[in-house]
């Protein structure tokens, strides 16, 4: 895998986050017994794990690496870490402890994991301790920030990613069009690992007989081709040639990413289809399984496995999805039209009240709207009847709006 083949062996070989790298280097270079642990905070693929490995290599430390989100209970953490700390002085080499994904210690499933980790960190004064977290939010990180030196890392800028990608392609003797290179750089969103995995998949590395794929078919055309495919091979090819990706929404989900989310496109198409409930249930169950796979692949950083998702999804929904068509909206039409119509009516009511009372629309929504359900809910109310006549709205529609507002 390119990710491992081109993992920097020293901190100077890394790209981006120059200030964070220098700050971390100085921390370990000047570390003295009793110093606070260091907490690296930044999105996936920015080099937190690489930094720990590179520094251990440069300073001659034996790296002891542990994923805290996998060993989140008090019993597991104490079982793994206490012997290391108690016997640190008898190791032939100096030990650097690296705890990855410490933000995974959260919620009721924690079972004392956080309190155990805080206690262990107090006793870990004999060896340097580095921790890494993807998120800066939550009670876990709040507590760890309080006892640690914090260094923040950011996504790698596109210009550096492009230069790094070109270096890897040249080293591998591979080529990609400038359009594909730019697409990969933009889509990876500052994540070096994601960029390399997408690029390697794109040029067909490590997959027997796989030709480079051009991700150029618009998402709507690709999904319609998928539903119209005569066999599984054609359906897999249609998904593979889509401009879409399997998007992980954990760290932000803008409208463009939502538009090109292949799983989302299949989901919205299925729930808007006129099919029987059992058939829809089978399709949605298959998509939910794929959704869990995507989440697990992202959590375990198994990005190379994403190349198999098109096939997995196709085989699981092919028979039941024949004859469907692409739909962009993730709310069925009978619900979205109701929401749209009621929203339109409410906006007209707000505008009418604001105009007659010479008030701002903001004030009408904030101070007058709480009373609207009471007015609209009375079928015989002259005000309700007049509003209905003014805007060609039936009393039943007004009553429905009133009930929804009152919920």
What pLDDT, in 10s, does the model give residues 347-364? 777 777 787 778 888 888
What pLDDT, in 10s, does the model give residues 172-185? 888 888 878 888 88
- Quickly state the pLDDT bin for 276 (edges 50, 70, 90): very high
| Mean pLDDT value of segment 65-81 | 65
pTM for the whole structure? 0.50
Residues 6+ apart with CB under 8 A from 107: none
- Quickly state the pLDDT bin for 228 (edges 50, 70, 90): very high
Alpha helices in 148-261 (DSSP H): 158-172, 178-187, 192-202, 219-228, 232-240, 255-259
CB atoms within 10 A of CB 24: 24
Q: Which domains does the chain have, with CATH numbers?
A: 2-152 (3.40.50.300), 156-212 (1.10.8), 213-330 (no CATH), 333-406 (no CATH)
Q: Which of 184-198, 238-252, 305-319, 392-406 has the lowest mean pLDDT?
A: 392-406
Q: What is the pLDDT of residue 315?
A: 92
Q: What is the pLDDT of residue 211?
A: 37
What pLDDT, in 10s, does the model give residues 36-66? 889 999 888 888 988 999 999 889 888 888 7
Q: What is the pLDDT of residue 250?
A: 58
Cβ neighbourhood burial of 10 (10 Å; 0-12, 13-18, 19+): exposed
pLDDT of 156 strictly over 80: yes
Query: HSE (CB half, 13 Å, CA atoms) of 268?
Result: 20
Going by C-alpha positions, the residue among 376, 375, 353 that lies closest to residue 364 is 353
pLDDT of 17 strictly over 60: yes
Residues 6+ apart with CB under 8 A from 142: none
Q: What is the pLDDT of residue 109?
A: 44
- Quickly state the pLDDT bin for 150 (edges 50, 70, 90): very high
The share of the chain scoring above pLDDT 70, in percent, equals 70
Cβ pair 398, 380 in contact under 8 A: no
Tell me how far apart the 2 most distant CA atoms of the chain are, in Å.
90
Bridge partners for 94 per DSSP: 61
Residues 6+ apart with CB under 8 A from 228: none
pLDDT of 203 strictly over 70: yes
């Amino acid at each position: 895998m390119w990710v491992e083949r081109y993992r920097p062996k020293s901190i100077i070989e890394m790209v981006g986050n120059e200030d964070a790298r220098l700050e971390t280097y100085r921390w370990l270079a000047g570390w003295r017994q009793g110093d606070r642990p260091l907490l690296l905070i930044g999105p996936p693929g920015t080099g937190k794990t690489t930094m720990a490995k590179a520094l251990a290599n440069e300073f001659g430390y034996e790296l002891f690496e542990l994923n805290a989100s996998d060993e989140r209970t008090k019993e597991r953490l104490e079982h793994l870490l206490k012997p290391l700390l108690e016997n640190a002085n008898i190791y032939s080499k100096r030990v650097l402890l690296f705890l990855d994904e410490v933000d995974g210690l959260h919620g009721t499933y924690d079972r004392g994991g956080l309190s155990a980790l805080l206690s262990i960190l107090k006793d870990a004064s004999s060896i340097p301790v580095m921790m890494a977290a993807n998120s800066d939010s939550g009670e876990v990180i709040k507590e760890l920030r309080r006892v640690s030196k914090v260094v923040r890392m950011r996504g790698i800028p596109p210009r550096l990613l492009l230069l790094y990608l070109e270096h890897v392609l040249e080293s591998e003797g591979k080529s990609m069009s400038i359009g594909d290179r730019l697409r990969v750089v933009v889509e990876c969103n500052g994540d070096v690992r994601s960029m390399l995995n997408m690029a390697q998949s794109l040029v067909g590395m490590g997959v027997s007989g796989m030709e480079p794929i051009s991700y150029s078919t618009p998402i709507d055309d690709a999904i319609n081709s998928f539903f119209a495919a005569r066999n599984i091979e054609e359906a897999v090819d249609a998904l593979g040639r889509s401009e879409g990706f399997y998007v992980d929404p954990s760290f932000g989900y803008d409208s463009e990413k939502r538009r090109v989310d292949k799983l989302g496109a299949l989901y919205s198409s299925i729930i808007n289809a006129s099919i029987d409930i059992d058939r829809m249930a089978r399709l949605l169950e298959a998509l939910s399984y794929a959704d869990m796979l995507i989440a697990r692949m992202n959590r375990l950083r198994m990005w190379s496995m994403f190349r198999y998702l098109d096939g997995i999804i196709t085989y699981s929904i092919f028979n039941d999805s024949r004859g469907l068509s692409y739909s962009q909206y993730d709310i069925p039409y009978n619900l979205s039209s109701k929401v749209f119509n009621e929203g339109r009516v409410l906006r007209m009511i707000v505008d009418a009240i604001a105009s007659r009372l010479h008030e701002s629309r903001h004030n009408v929504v904030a101070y007058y709207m709480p009373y609207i359900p009471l007015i609209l809910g009375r079928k015989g109310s002259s005000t309700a009847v007049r509003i209905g006549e003014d805007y060609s709205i039936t009393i039943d529609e007004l009553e429905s709006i009133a009930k929804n507002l009152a919920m």
